[in-house]
Chain A
Amino acid sequence: MSTSAVPAPAVRDARSRTRHSRARGFTGFGFVTPFLVFYVLFLLLPLVLAVVFSLFNTSLALPGLGRWEGLHNYGELFRDSYFWSSMWHTVLFTLVSTPVLVVVSFLLALGVYRRRHGQWFFRLAFFLPYILPSAVVALVWLWIFEPGYGLADGALHLVGLGAPSWLGSTSIALYSIVLVTVWWTVGFNFILFLAGLQEIPQEVYEAAEMDGASRSTQVRRITLPMLGRTVTLVTVLQIIASLKIFDQVYLMTQGGPNFSTRVALEYIYDTGFTSGRVGYASAASLVLFVVIAIIGFAWLALVRRQERGV
């Protein structure tokens, strides 16, 4: 806005009108205040409290802050191999689930986006699981993975294969949870890709077809480059979502067998609530928080650069 271009009387007029309306009712800050109250009390305050608690040996069983610990909690945290292994499980889950969830959702969207008939059916099938509560997903998949009686074992039996111990083996359990997560949440990315694909004007493909470009060339040379922003968005949202994994693990394996699926949030839950060490768990929370925030801001920077490039 260039105020200098506006003649002086108009500026004065606008100012007096603002002053006038302020007298007449609430404006600006007044409109934001209700939101701000919730924001400060339930997002900012917990963040500040986490910083404070992490410097004390605050306990769930006792009121008050407890004894000043300085950076001892962080020192202990970084020496705790259980903390590192739970962080690693979260990172491993993210590293495995993100590419699968991005690629599978893209392929599913690619398979149906040009379809004029029956698209509702595919949207229903792929997106429906996303709206189910985690507890429902856990109950259904615990039953599918049930040794012997389960559908998973039944399906493998059908093709003559022996079934692994889906949730009972330390080397497989985390991948079984990835499988469940892909089924559960792929629909969200699918819808994002579907919208992105349908944004690309049909004429671009028709022109390419005229020039004799094959389907695969069209995907490589037109679809992927024009979908750049959607790919970034889906990938980053997926990384952040995957880093926050908790529900499926807690409800299906409680971090077992032998801690092989205990993820960062479950570690925070265990230390904060089972052991009642609020101060120590707050330190762990902040480490996870910083990791997620860094990725979020890196994404913002990336989007800014992409927008400048376009």
Chain B
Amino acid sequence: MSAAAVRSSTAGRRSRPLSQRVFPHVITGVMIALALLWLAPVLWAIDTAVKAEPDTIKIPATWAIPHLTFSAFSTDFSASDIGRWYINSAIVSLLVTVFTVITASMAGYALSRQRFRGQNLLYGAILAGIMIPPQALMVPLFREFQAIHGLNTYWALVLPQVPSPVAVFIFKKFFDGQPPELDQAARMDGASWWTCYRRIALPLSRSAVAAVSIFTFVWTWNNFLWPFLSSTNTPMMTIPVGLGTVIPGEGITNALVMASAILGALPLVVVFLFGQRQIVEGVAGTGLK
């Protein structure tokens, strides 16, 4: 390469930095603006909830809060069944999470570690289950519970939400990644498969258990359609179903509606803030597998 060519190429590289130095800042500015735009609906809900009612119906809408008040939150607790819905959502989400993690991790363990007749067929059938959209089967499922008079019970809320083929898939992939020598050694020493699963594989799978648990909890907490169909008695409703019955007007103020929305979302926001890493890694994991 000649000296001139070298000089021109370095000059070319030196001329770029100006635009390159400005460009990232422009991007940063745009991204911050977008992030604030994304947060705006949430902030607007909070803004409305702490306003006095006359200030919520200004035209055009304004962010100003002339009289700060938290009365909407306390009114919501005393006027609606939201306390009861919280308890229902917590019970249902916890039970579904526990059942899902236990059944899916056991199935994933057997499919990953053990060899038995019909194994491939079984795994194929479970994988195919990922394609079954439960929402499209609401009518026959409703009929099932109607036939056994099981509607408006915790059974109806919990049991149909337990089978999660995706969770089996995640656990199998996770166990596939564990070195098989660990439980092979234990097997040699006469440990049963159950002991290997319970004492070796599961304790080493904290991150998979955490990811599946958080996801199952969040999905169950948020699930609307099936709880909406199966729980028609107000005291049996979960948070999303109960909130769906909150209709603005009829003596329910705008601040009260937003307070309900915020209270309904609060437990999950807390879960999210504490489990952000697991959630993000869990989502990312589905993409990389």
Chain A positions near chain B (C-beta within 8 angstroms): 17-18, 21, 24-32, 34-36, 38-39, 41-47, 49-50, 53, 58, 60, 63, 108, 111-112, 115, 120-129, 131-136, 138-144, 148-151, 153-154, 157-158, 183, 188, 191-192, 194-196, 199, 212, 215, 229-230, 233-234, 240, 243-244, 246-247, 251, 265, 268-269, 272-273, 278, 281-282, 285-286, 288-289, 292-293, 296-297
Nearest Cβ distance between residue A18 and chain B, in whole angstroms?
8
Residues in chain B near residue A296, CB distance under 8 A? 130-131
Q: In the complex, what's the smallest C-beta–C-beta distance from A180 to chain B, in angstroms?
A: 9
Contacts of B119 in A (CB 8 A): 28
Kindly state whether residue B114 has any CB partner on chain A within 8 Å: yes
Are B268 and A132 neighbours in the complex by a CB distance under 8 Å? yes
Docked CA distance A265–B119 (Å): 35
Report Cα–Cα, A244/B99, bound state, in Å.
25
**Contact A188:B283 (CB < 8 A) given known A135-B240, A244-B133:** yes
Q: Does B22 lie at the interface of the complex (its beta carbon under 8 Å from any beta carbon of A)?
A: no
Tell me which residues across on chain B come within 8 A of A120, comparing CB atoms. Answer: 276
Given A45-B140, A128-B269, 15 more A-B residue pairs with CB atoms under 8 Å apart are: A27-B110, A31-B106, A32-B107, A32-B110, A34-B107, A38-B162, A43-B129, A43-B163, A111-B27, A135-B264, A144-B44, A151-B61, A199-B288, A212-B12, A282-B139
B258 x A154 contact (CB < 8 A): no
The residue of chain A having its C-beta at the shortest distance from the C-beta of B113 within the complex is A31
- Check B78 for interface membership: any CB of A closer than 8 A: no
Contact B41 A49 (CB under 8 A): no
| Distance A185 CA – B104 CA, assembled complex (angstroms) | 26
Question: Considering the chains assembled together, what is the distance between the CA atoms of A136 and B258 in angstroms?
Answer: 9
Assess whether B192 is interfacial by the CB under 8 Å rule: yes
| Docked complex Cα distance between A157 and B59 (Å) | 10
A247 CB contacts on chain B under 8 angstroms: 224-225
Q: Using Cβ atoms and an 8 Å threshold, which residues of chain B touch A121?
A: 35
- Which B residues are CB-close (under 8 A) to A126? 35, 38
Cα–Cα, bound, A15→B252 (Å): 70
Bound-state Cα–Cα, A30 to B147, Å: 29
Complex: A128 Cα to B265 Cα, angstroms: 10
B107 pairs with A31, CB closer than 8 A: yes
Query: Chain B nearest CB: distance from A106 CB in Å?
Result: 13
A44: min CB distance to chain B, Å: 8
A49–B276 CB distance below 8 A: no
From B58, B147, B197, give the contact of A63 (CB < 8 A): B147
Contact B224 A135 (CB under 8 A): yes
Q: If the complex has contacts A58-B143, A133-B224, A142-B248, are A191 and B283 also in contact, measured as CB distance less than 8 A?
A: yes
CB-CB nearest in chain B for A52: B140
Contact A191 B280 (CB under 8 A): yes
B102 adjacent to chain A (CB < 8 Å)? yes
Complex alpha-carbon distance, A24 and B246, angstroms: 56
Closest Cβ of chain A to B289, distance in Å, is: 10
Flag if A112 contacts B31 (CB, 8 Å).
yes
Contacts of A38 in B (CB 8 A): 99, 103, 159, 162-163
Cβ contact of A133, chosen from B61, B126, B221, B287, cutoff 8 A: B221
Is A39's CB under 8 angstroms from B163's CB? yes
Which residue from chain B places its CB closest to the CB of A280 in the assembled complex? B139
A47 → B minimal CB distance (Å): 6
CA distance A194 to B287 in the complex (A): 10
Chain B positions 135-170 with a Cβ under 8 Å from a chain A Cβ? 135-144, 146-147, 159-160, 162-163, 165, 168
A211 to B225, CA, bound (A): 54
Which of the listed residues B62, B110, B269 has the most CB atoms from chain A within 10 Å of its own CB? B110
Instruction: Knowing A46-B144, A157-B60 are in contact, say whether A131-B222 is a contact too (CB < 8 A).
Output: yes
Question: Min CB distance, B66 to chain A, in Å?
Answer: 16
Given contacts A53-B140, A58-B143, A131-B268, contact A154 B110 (CB under 8 A): no
Q: Can you report 23 A-B residue pairs in the complex whose CB atoms are below 8 A from each other?
A: A25-B193, A27-B116, A28-B119, A32-B107, A35-B107, A39-B163, A60-B146, A108-B34, A125-B35, A125-B38, A132-B222, A135-B244, A149-B58, A158-B60, A196-B288, A212-B13, A229-B287, A247-B224, A272-B139, A285-B138, A285-B139, A296-B131, A297-B131
In the complex, A233→B288 CA distance in Å?
10
Which residue in chain B gives the minimum CB-CB distance to A64?
B147
